[in-house]
């Protein structure tokens, strides 16, 4: 047995048939490696955070059957604990971006088996003011894209929805002035989007930055200065060959940093891991290798 005590959190609002099927396909593999396994249904938004905060320290592992929103809640419950359990994702949302970074199969049954054979790795966590993020924090176009996603469209189009939503947003955003203080340096400019990245995928799109690593204590920072449609399409469709170091040109700025402060002239809504509830100004720190997560080696 790999774990003495673990809990599996799932969305209690899912339909009964779906739930029977999904739980039935992942519990056998998980239960075979856990002495005492608690199945807990989330009853409301943010419940996963509360459960993780209250019970996380007694657990050796926490399994999240859900999407990026539920994973984000769990990370916010676990990150402030002294004794932090291992986090394993059973991808059951629309985008499941961080599960992709962990190379977890998108099929729940395969995911449960692969997790039990997977590696425990240490992953950086972003701390923004008093909250945490795992995948990304951003302002501008990304926030508009997340807010504009039509739930019906998300269901029908799945991974395309971010892209369609971003295009819908495209003409609606003017560049905003900002001040970015990063690792002691200051950058003042205007942009349509600032992204602080930890993971490898956003909206199921693999990000084209060669330096992204989830355990190096560094964020990848992308400042998109103008909303040229061609540029935005390139970012999403990976047609651009990204250089291996810092870049700065008329369209965008790319660099890495451990900590930063983002200030904007007017208060702006911020998107963390696809959830829009934070605002600027933001003090962001990379907590190096703060969280233990289950990751699947590429060969599995």
Ligand X SMILES: Nc1ncnc2c1ncn2[C@@H]1O[C@H](COP(=O)(O)OP(=O)(O)OP(=O)(O)O)[C@@H](O)[C@H]1O
Q: Any contact of residue 93 with ligand X (CB under 6 A)?
A: yes
Measured CA to CA, the distance from residue 111 to residue 104 in angstroms comes to 6
Q: Does position 88 bind ligand X by CB under 6 A?
A: no
Taking CB under 6 A as the criterion, the residue among 29, 59, 95, 102 binding ligand X is 95
Where residue 241 falls (left for φ over 0; alpha for ψ -120 to 50; beta otherwise) is beta
CB of 188 within 8 A of CB of 262? no
User: Does 67 help bind ligand X (rule: CB under 6 A)?
Assistant: yes
Please pick, from the candidates 56, 66, 105, 126, the single residue that binds ligand X as defined by CB under 6 A. 66
Q: Which two tokens stand for residue 70?
A: 């539920």
> Which one of residues 1, 4, 12, 243 is an interface residue with ligand X (CB under 6 A)?
12
Return the residue of 22, 42, 169, 227 that touches ligand X, per CB under 6 A. Answer: 42
**In the complex, least distance from residue 258 CB atom to ligand X, rounded to whole angstroms:** 27
Q: Which two tokens stand for residue 2?
A: 């790999």
Comparing CA positions, the residue from 134, 127, 272, 286 lying closest to residue 219 is 286
Q: Does 79 bind ligand X (CB under 6 A)?
A: no
272 touches ligand X by CB under 6 A: no
Q: For 207-254, give the DSSP string.
A: P--TT--TTSS-EEEEEE-S--HHHHHHHHHT-S---SS-EE-SSEEE
Burial of 191 (C-beta count, 10 Å sphere; 0-12/13-18/19+): buried
Instruction: Say which of 73, 144, 251, 275 is annotated catalytic.
Output: 275
Nearer to ligand X, 71 or 294 (CB): 71
Q: Binding residue for ligand X (CB under 6 A) from 27, 52, 68, 218?
A: 68
Q: Which of 41, 122, 73, 56 is nearest to 289 (CA)?
A: 122
Q: How far is the CB of 278 from ligand X (least distance, A)?
A: 15
Stretch that binds ligand X, among 36-44, 82-90, 259-267, 290-298 (CB under 6 A): 36-44
- Residue 271 in contact with ligand X, rule: CB under 6 A: no
| Least distance between ligand X and beta carbon 194 (Å) | 21
Nearer to ligand X, 41 or 116 (CB): 41
Q: Contacting ligand X (CB under 6 A), which of 7, 56, 60, 70? A: 70
The answer to whether residue 147 forms part of the interface with ligand X (CB under 6 A) is no
Nearest to 44 by CA among 62, 70, 76, 22: 70
CB of 93 to ligand X, least distance (A): 2
Instruction: Characterize 31-67 residue by residue with b for buried, 16 or more Cβ atoms within 10 angstroms of its Cβ, and e for exposed.
Output: bebbeebeebebeeeebbbebbbebbeebbbbbbbbb
Q: Is residue 51 classed as helix, strand or coil in its secondary structure?
A: helix
Q: Which stretch binds ligand X (CB under 6 A): 10-18, 170-178, 231-239, 257-265?
A: 10-18
Per the annotation, the verdict on 263 as an active-site residue is: no
| Whole-angstrom distance, CA of residue 148 vs CA of residue 158 | 14
x-or-dash string of contact with ligand X, 185-224, rule CB under 6 A: ----------------------------------------
Active-site residues, by number, are 275
């Amino acid at each position: 047995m790999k774990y003495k005590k673990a809990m599996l959190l799932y969305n209690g609002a899912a339909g009964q048939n779906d739930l029977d099927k999904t739980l039935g396909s992942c519990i056998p593999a998980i239960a075979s490696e856990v002495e005492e396994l608690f199945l807990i249904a989330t009853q409301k938004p943010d419940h996963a955070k509360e459960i993780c905060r209250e019970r996380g320290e007694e657990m050796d592992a926490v399994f999240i059957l859900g999407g990026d929103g539920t994973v984000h809640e769990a990370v916010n419950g676990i990150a402030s604990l002294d004794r932090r359990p291992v986090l394993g994702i059973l991808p059951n949302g629309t985008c499941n971006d961080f599960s992709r970074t962990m190379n977890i199969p998108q099929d729940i049954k395969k995911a449960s088996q692969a997790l039990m054979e997977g590696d425990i790795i240490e992953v950086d966590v972003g701390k923004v003011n008093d909250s945490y993020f795992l995948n990304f924090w951003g302002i501008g176009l990304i926030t508009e894209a997340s807010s504009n996603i039509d739930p019906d469209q998300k269901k029908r189009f799945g991974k395309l929805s971010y892209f369609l939503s971003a295009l819908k947003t495209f003409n609606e955003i003017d560049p905003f002035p900002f001040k970015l203080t990063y690792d002691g340096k200051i950058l003042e400019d205007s942009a349509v989007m600032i992204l602080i990245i930890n993971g490898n995928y956003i909206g199921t799109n693999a990000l084209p930055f060669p330096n992204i690593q989830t355990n190096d204590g560094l964020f990848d920072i992308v400042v998109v200065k103008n909303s040229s449609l061609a540029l935005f399409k390139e970012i999403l469709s990976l047609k651009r060959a990204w250089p291996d170091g810092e870049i700065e040109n008329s369209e965008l700025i790319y660099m890495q940093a451990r900590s930063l402060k983002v200030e904007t002239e007017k208060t702006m809504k911020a998107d963390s891991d696809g959830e829009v509830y934070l605002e600027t100004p933001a003090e962001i720190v990379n907590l190096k290798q703060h969280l233990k997560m289950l990751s699947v080696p590429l060969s599995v």
